[in-house]
Chains A and B, each alone.
Chain A
Amino acid sequence: MAADRRVVLDVEGLRMRYGATDVLHDVTFQAHHGEVLALLGPNGAGKSTTIEILEGFRMRSAGRVEVLGTDPAHGGEEWRARLGVVLQSWRDHGKWRVRELLAHLGSYYTCYSTDAIPRPWDTDDLVRTVGLAEHADKKIRMLSGGQRRRLDVAIAIVGRPEVLFLDEPTTGFDPEARREFHDLVRRLADELETTVLLTTHDLDEAEKLADRIVILSQGRIVADGTAVELSRRIAGEDHVRWTRDGQRFTHSTAESTEFVHNLFKQHGAEIRELEVHRASLEDTYMALVRRAESGQDSATESTWKEATR
């Protein structure tokens, strides 16, 4: 994570209402410069609505939202030039060739170039960066799903954005394409200090990519922290298994190391087949989502807020 702690995304008390139903309740989170933040949650949790409000494509009902210090509802073209957006499904520009489209879309950014950030990204360099050098002269409709997605990222970063929004970026990817994609996003965050907000329902992806994870369930934030913090603080219970005198034992504890230490002090060599299972993020996630869905959400929220303070 970058040392610079500027707040790039600032969301406070965000609410969204369609007719009589609230799809977002009091959503509050922040992302700092150069940070990768994952908005994790099951389908219908309000992830896409949140990201669309931040992109300036959707009007919110209430709350305060700032992206790069600007309210997206009133963001001008200069603000727009500092953002990159990758949506869930894009099938546009099928007749264009890869290099041709990147050069064209890049030309809109020339007047937003600064000394610190020269815009746009050089087309050939960009094509190489996203791994499409061999396909640069292909028609876009001839690209495979993974190539198409990398092109979408290339288009999103052609203006060297300071903030990059990725909505469900790897849906339908094979494992190799997914890994390459993750490397690309990490590189953008680490080398170019791009702040990244991505939505995903894939826990594994959030854990691999994100510096911090915000879990959204039924329009509420039920957890916010690093992957390690989340698994430690919420579920908090590791499982210890062992056998003694041919008998099986299991014990759940937050302090597994200390527990095992005491176990050996007490029984020494009698302990066999020792296993310690760390509380996994998956357990945490499932527990949180299940609790939120069974209507105990407000309780979870307050417990969690206490825990993170």
Chain B
Amino acid sequence: MTPTTVAAWAGWRRGLIELRQSFTNGQDLFGHLFWPAAMLATIYFVGDTALDAGGLLLGTMLLPSILGMNVAFNGLLTMSQLLAVEREDGTLLRAKATPNGMLGYLVGKVVTVSGTLIAGVAIVLIPGLFLVDGLALGSLSAWLTLAWVVLLGTVASLPLGAVLGSLCSSPRSLGLIMFPIMGLAAISGIFYPITSMPEWLQWIAQAFPLYWLGLGMRSALLPDAAVAIEIGESWRHLETLGVLGAWTVFGLVVAPIVLRRMARRESGSSVAERRHKALQRIA
């Protein structure tokens, strides 16, 4: 095996080990389950509100939309958070000190975050199937659509998360990016049909991956009649592919540049300095 294949395999094993660690310790497990539980509770309590078109219930529309949002959030936030934290504690520098360690580290992160993300979909979807009426998951094509939307959403959001994580100076400053992302979620048709928003807000939302992930998920899980609440009364699969694909390309081009720049700057004293700053903040 060449050194690169050795490192890629090591990265794969690393991802699986970290996934296991993450799903076998209380604190992480709470993190994995708390939001899904809160969202399912919301769906349960407000779910019976009827939307205008064809007897579609709010809960039915919420479940796929929230699944789409989870894919984006998991990809973006988990990835950026892990990068920022592990830069601060020296994990990244450790990877840098290991031959081909950076490759192994990145493969490992992609495996860990993708695994977390897919588990996140299952954690909401499986109980959701029992809680929510009116989903249309009987056909193979529904599951296939679900699969490609999750896959495309993952490859679109992971590199963006890596860019965010590399640009942030500390895990704490990452908290600040939560606000615009929450704002984006509010206008992206996740919690209410986007067609009820003013048109200029619709345009803003359509520039970002979040709306398209929600749309893709609704196209997979909802019956055809539900298309009535969407823009142009269409699931717009081609446009979904186009926008998510464009973000993927953007992320895959920018992420290596930003990651390399960030990794180059890592050294023992930069880790020590951040540790010092972090301790000062506590004191």
Contacts and interface: CB of A to CB of B under 8 A. Distances in A.
Interface string B4-38: 00110110011001100110010000000000000
B98 A108 contact: yes
A300 to B, nearest CB: 27
Contact of B99 (A57, A78, A104): A78
B230 interface: no
A109 B96 contact: no
Contacts of B89: 90-92, 94
A90 B88 CA distance: 9
B268 A87 contact: yes
A111 B100 CA distance: 11
Given A52-B267, A57-B268, A111 B94 contact: no
Contacts, number: 98
A92 B3 contact: no
Given A108-B98, A108-B104, A167 B268 contact: yes
Interface string B84-108: 0010011101101111110010000
A195 B99 CA distance: 19
Contacts of B22: 95
B119 to A, nearest CB: 17
A93 B99 contact: no
A58 B267 contact: yes
A95 B26 CA distance: 12
Nearest to B268: A87
A92 B86 contact: yes
B1 interface: yes
Contacts of B90: 87, 89-92
Interface in A273-287: none
A48 B99 contact: no
A235 to B, nearest CB: 32
A299 interface: no
Given A57-B266, A89-B90, A89-B275, A111 B96 contact: no
Interface string A100-120: 100011011111100000000
B82 to A, nearest CB: 12
B118 to A, nearest CB: 20
B266 A77 contact: no
A92 B94 CA distance: 8
Majority secondary structure of chain B interface residues (helix, strand, loop or mixed): helix
A63 B182 CA distance: 51
B104 A52 contact: no
Contacts of A109: 99
A77 B100 contact: yes
A95 B93 CA distance: 17
A209 interface: no
Nearest to A112: B99
A104 B94 contact: no
Contacts of B94: 90, 92-93, 105, 155
B10 A93 contact: no
Given A88-B272, A104-B14, A108-B98, A77 B91 contact: no
Given A48-B268, A78-B99, A167-B268, A108 B17 contact: no
A83 B98 CA distance: 9
B2 interface: yes
A81 interface: yes
* Top 3 closest pairs, chain A to chain B, by CB: A87-B268, A57-B267, A92-B91
Interface of B: 1-3, 6-7, 9-10, 13-14, 17-18, 21-22, 25, 86, 89-91, 93-94, 96-101, 104, 266-269, 271-272, 275
Given A89-B90, A95-B25, A104-B13, 11 more contacts: A51-B268, A57-B93, A57-B266, A57-B268, A88-B272, A90-B89, A92-B93, A94-B89, A104-B17, A105-B94, A109-B99
